[in-house]
Structure 1
Amino acid sequence: MPQALRVSFDAGMRRLASGPYGYGSAPVKDDADRREATVSGVVVRYYISAAVLTVTVVRIVYV
């Protein structure tokens, strides 16, 4: 990933982590805690565990 994109992506991921149900994300299938968002042109799929205040990224697709 080029450095400029990485800087933009990291900033977008910080915003997403601060509000994981927002930032243009959408639920995957019918599970509100499994989410997908596009951050700086990169597709990110993640899972939210509110009980332990954790966001786990399970897939990042950058082409």
Structure 2
Amino acid sequence: MPRALRTTFDAAMQRLAADPYGHNSTPVKADADRREATVSGVVVRYYVSNAVLTVTVVRVVYV
């Protein structure tokens, strides 16, 4: 990933981490805690765990 995109992506991921259910994210299948969002043109699939205040990214697709 080019440095400029990585910088933009990292900043956008920080905003997404602060509000993992926002930023036009959508649930994956019927599970509201499994989410997918496009962040700076990169598709990110992640899992939200409110019990431990953690967002775990499980897939990043950059083309």
Per the normalisation by structure 2, the TM-score is 0.99
| CA-atom RMSD in angstroms | 0.3
Shift of 1:51: 0.3
Identity of aligned residues (%): 78
Give the secondary structure class of the aligned counterpart of 2:45: strand
1:31-42 matches, cutoff 5 A: 31-42=31-42
Aligned to 1:47: 47
Residue 57 (str. 1) matches residue 57 (str. 2): yes
Residue 17 (str. 1) matches residue 17 (str. 2): yes
Give the secondary structure class of the aligned counterpart of 1:16: helix
Per the normalisation by structure 1, the TM-score is 0.99
Shift of 1:28: 0.2
Matched AA of 2:6: R
Aligned residues: 63
Matched AA of 1:56: T
Shift of 1:25: 0.3
Q: Which runs of 5+ in 1 are unaligned?
A: none
